[in-house]
A and B are shown apart, each in its own frame.
Chain A
Amino acid sequence: MGGEVGEASPPITPAMHSAVALRGITKRFPGVVANDHVDFEAAEGEVHALLGENGAGKTTLSNILTGLYRADEGEVVLFGEPREFHSPRDALDAGIAMVHQHFRLVSPFTVAENIVLGDHRDVGRSFLLHQRTIERRVAELSKRFGLALDPRARIWQLSLGEQQRVEIVKALYRDARILILDEPTAVLTPQEADALFETIRAMADDGRTVIFISHKLHEVKAVADRVTVLRRGRSVATVHAAEATRRSLAAMMVGREIELGRREDDGRRAGDPVLVLEHVSGDGDRGRAALADVSFALCAGEIVAIAGVAGNGQRELAETVAGMRRATSGSIRANGRLLQSGDPRHAIATRIAYVPEDRLGTGVAPGLSIASNLVLKSYRSPPASRGPLLLLGRIRELAQRLMHNHDVRATSPDVPARQLSGGNLQKVVLAREFSGEPSVVVAASPTRGLDVAAIETVHTYLRDAAAQGVGVLLISEDLDEIFALADRILVMYEGAIVGERDAATATAEELGLLMAGGEEHG
């Protein structure tokens, strides 16, 4: 299928010098081939996008390029020289640096300390740390590239956008010629993303190569010179961004036409409120305020999305509603009953289902069997148990039925949950949560890290639930997902709801402004 849309890769013109080339890279993990003979080439001064859906092998490929993984087959050619990296240090010394999707920062350290970490060249060779000199150099660098940073600030005090700047300055400090940015906009508002694109252009104009990893078509179109598309671990095509359309890129990425845009009006109408929060405040893990006077109502048959940049209290909100976190003030009512704050069992009894962001570890007990995980919330009552005794046979039957109904693919219900793929694992969570006949579903980043097929499954679950009169609270950092599902959108910033929009009329730009805390930040 890919052959129909894949064009011949445009050659690098003689004026452009190849900075990095990957030839026939193959990397296998137990049970999966993450990269299957991937070819990729980027030139000096080029912004080259690596496009593909989750699980297509983009991150694995960049981890090979940065020396974190070693390829099973294939070669890495850098500025015309074949190279082999044994560790990230080799790659860094060769001028390759990466900004990981989950930042690799030491959060109790200062900005300056993070930047000089592991440096072993000239000044870095000195045994003693010269705090002042380092801070001065960091200040100089961040000024030159317009990346405002306080070298003395501690990482945990910074917003995610600022942390990303630290990562970029870190790369520049190590004189990286090739920068890899892995899904860099996932933690940014649309406006912050635009600023990042300018930085990316500035770095490319400076002669550096920027490899921009993304699964978002419009971003790729906006920032890249050329695009290499990965699908299921293979490189499908390399095209000039200017010549490609979003639709053609999408087809290459997924291998078929996909729907883009907003949810259609299916005529479903919201009913009575099923979840009402009034003036809810609460603390985060570090004991600082994380929720500030949150009030809203969610109605039966409605999908309300909470939009916002990660770390603005969404996780705490979800946990508070699910009873896993105690509110310091305010009240939550579900189905008219007042929820006991900080009591997950009461929330379960009130038929609040919760699909947590952290699937492996919270959503399931990874070492236990699928069957055990399917009865994680229902083991207290028949048919899973009678009195204090578990009915193992019944549990197995129940598990087999649920696995069949929800298409969980595993050889038996006794397989440990840890061994399931992300999509299958999420199906286990959904099967369990929906088997409790919920009236409210809280879904926190329910599609993070899933491939397109699994994402569609999750979306179907949420839409069907709403159609059957369940109130769905969707927490997501992905505006595309929000537009595809939500009826109403609430925007969270620093623990407070700063705005509400109708999903049918809202624009990404206005939501972005709200996510950044209002107009003055834009």
Chain B
Amino acid sequence: MRIERRLAQPRWLMLVVPLLSLVVAFVVATVILLATHHPPLHSFRRLFDAAFLANGALTETVVSATPLAFTGLAAAVAFRMNLFNIGAEGQLYAGAITGATMGLLLGGAPSPVTIAVMILAGSAGGALLAAIPGVLRAFFSTNEIITSLMLNYVMALVIDYLIFDSHSYLRETKGFNASVFPQGKQLPDAATWSSWTIHGLVLPLGFLVAIGVAVGLWFLYSRTRFGFEVQVIGDSARAGRYAGMRTRRKILAVMLLSGAVAGLGGASQDGDFRHQLDPRGLTQANYGYTGIVVAALARYNPFAVVVVAFLLGGLQNAGYTLQGADFPNGLVGVLQGLILFCVLGGELFVRYRIRFERRPSTAAPATQ
């Protein structure tokens, strides 16, 4: 067997291979389900049902898809330049903190103003956190994978601290249960983001913003000088430097952009869905990590990110709905990982051709 690089990549392969990869992923998942004594077909049908078909399922799927679209876009923005920001998780928390703070501070302001400020504050919060790995990578060549990831744990602790272990501005201190069951302060009504209902499907503002961000990023990356520079540096940093591009500034800018998008996702959590700073809800959802899967499956294409976010959002939503004895927690992550593995492995078949050749039966040993 031999593996050769393809000179041209046929278009049909680009479609067939990802589809086949999906099939393989579900076959492997079937094996895992069988091995742990769960009926696979039944499980998959319930999964699909809970994700897309059941009453109100689509609305719930959009709820799950919205943060994934943001974190997916955040990952895609950075990964495009070979900048592995895996801190979207923490950047989303940061955005949720700053977003909620502004929402509370602007209690009496008109709703559009409050929402706009929350969006800005969320982006700024995420960008600020991403600036740490960004600066370290740009000016000290510190591996951004680990620094951005470490900050996820730090931010998870910070968000816990704000609500559970301090008398912060964000914590609800009045009321009967305040000291027994600590939770975030309820945001004022003006800080509730609008939503639209179309044929029973509720579209939150955040989801539309995410689509808008995807369009903006697509334009930025394919039609502007900045995007061109990102492409060149992502493909070969030396070529970028050769062409006189300011590599460090680009690294920092892309990190900030990536963090801002993730932070925006945090603000959308406050405004669209949770209406308070909700540490448990945020830290248990793994939006940031799933965003990496979304970005990788979408091959870092912003439009594809939105589509994949919707599909994986369905999976995630089904995971919540079905959680229980015959649908163990963790299955969703297993499925996501499997899909990603298969798509990654499948790329080989797009880039390379595999040739099988008869192996001569006479291995011609030297018999002296």
Contact = CB atoms under 8 A, between A and B. Distances in A.
A364 B364 contact: no
Question: Max chain B CB contacts within 10 Å: which of A31, A94, A346, A376?
Answer: A376
A388 B226 contact: yes
B138 to A, nearest CB: 16
B242 interface: yes
Interface residues of B, number: 31
Nearest to A31: B7
Contacts of B224: 388-390
Interface stretch (A50-58, A81-89, A205-213, A471-479): A81-89
Interface stretch (A174-182, A275-283, A353-361): A353-361
Nearest to B244: A345
A389 B227 CA distance: 9
Contacts of A390: 223-225, 227-228
A417 to B, nearest CB: 9
B239 A363 contact: yes
Contacts of B366: 78, 81, 83, 94
Contact of B238 (A361, A379, A392): A361
B242 A366 contact: no
B239 A362 contact: yes
Nearest to B352: A30
B334 interface: no
B232 A368 contact: yes
A366 B4 contact: no
Interface in B190-218: none
B232 A365 contact: yes
A366 B225 contact: no
Interface in B102-152: none
Given A30-B5, A82-B364, A372-B231, A344 B223 contact: no
Contacts of A372: 228, 231-232
A377 B360 contact: no
B225 A344 contact: no
B49 interface: no
Contacts of A377: 243-244
A84 B244 CA distance: 50
Given A84-B363, A94-B366, A376 B239 contact: yes
A388 B223 CA distance: 9
Contacts of A388: 224-226
Given A81-B366, A385-B225, A392-B223, A365 B240 contact: yes
A29 interface: yes
A484 interface: no
B236 interface: yes
Nearest to B229: A379
Contact of A30 (B4, B228, B240, B364): B4
A221 B241 CA distance: 44
B225 A84 contact: no
Interface string B328-368: 00000000000000000000000001000000101110101
A84 B236 contact: no
A329 interface: no
Contacts of B353: 30
A343 B244 CA distance: 7
A347 B244 CA distance: 8
Given A94-B366, A365-B232, A29 B4 contact: yes
A5 B353 CA distance: 40
A419 interface: yes
A102 interface: no
B165 interface: no
A228 to B, nearest CB: 24
B280 interface: no
A358 B225 CA distance: 25
Contacts of A337: none
A108 interface: no
Contacts of A354: 242
A262 interface: no
Contacts of A385: 225
A389 B364 contact: no
A94 B366 CA distance: 9
Nearest to A84: B364
A83 B364 contact: yes
A362 B364 contact: no
B190 to A, nearest CB: 35
A367 interface: yes
Given A30-B4, A30-B6, A362 B236 contact: yes
Question: Max chain B CB contacts within 10 Å: which of A30, A78, A94?
Answer: A30
B357 to A, nearest CB: 8
A380 interface: yes
Interface string B237-254: 011111111100000000
A346 B243 CA distance: 10
Contacts of A364: 236, 239
A348 B244 contact: yes
A141 interface: no
Question: Max chain B CB contacts within 10 Å: which of A78, A343, A344, A358?
Answer: A344
B236 A361 contact: yes
Interface in A385-407: 385, 388-390, 392
B177 to A, nearest CB: 53
Contacts of A361: 236, 238-239
A47 B241 CA distance: 46
Contacts of B231: 365, 368, 372
B241 A344 contact: yes
Contacts of A380: 225
Contacts of B232: 365, 368, 372, 376
A358 B241 CA distance: 13
Contacts of A343: 244
A323 B232 CA distance: 18
A270 interface: no
Interface in A305-343: 322-324, 343
B6 to A, nearest CB: 7
Contacts of B241: 324, 344
Nearest to B4: A30
Nearest to A358: B238
Nearest to B220: A388
Contacts of B6: 30
Contacts of A323: 244
Interface string A47-90: 00000000000000000000000000000001001111000000
Nearest to A364: B239
Nearest to B232: A365
A202 B244 CA distance: 52
Contacts of B227: 390
Given A361-B236, A362-B239, A368-B231, A379 B360 contact: no
A30 B272 CA distance: 54
Interface in B28-50: none
A378 to B, nearest CB: 9
A91 B236 CA distance: 36
Interface in A436-494: none
Contacts of A368: 231-232, 235
B172 to A, nearest CB: 46
Contacts of A82: 364
Contacts of B360: 84
B331 to A, nearest CB: 37
Given A365-B239, A388-B225, 4 more contacts: A31-B7, A348-B243, A362-B236, A362-B239
Interface of B: 4-8, 223-228, 231-232, 235-236, 238-246, 353, 360, 362-364, 366, 368
9 contacts: A29-B4, A81-B368, A347-B244, A348-B244, A356-B242, A358-B238, A367-B236, A372-B232, A379-B225
Closest 9 CB pairs of A and B: A345-B244, A365-B235, A365-B239, A367-B235, A344-B244, A376-B243, A365-B236, A362-B238, A84-B364
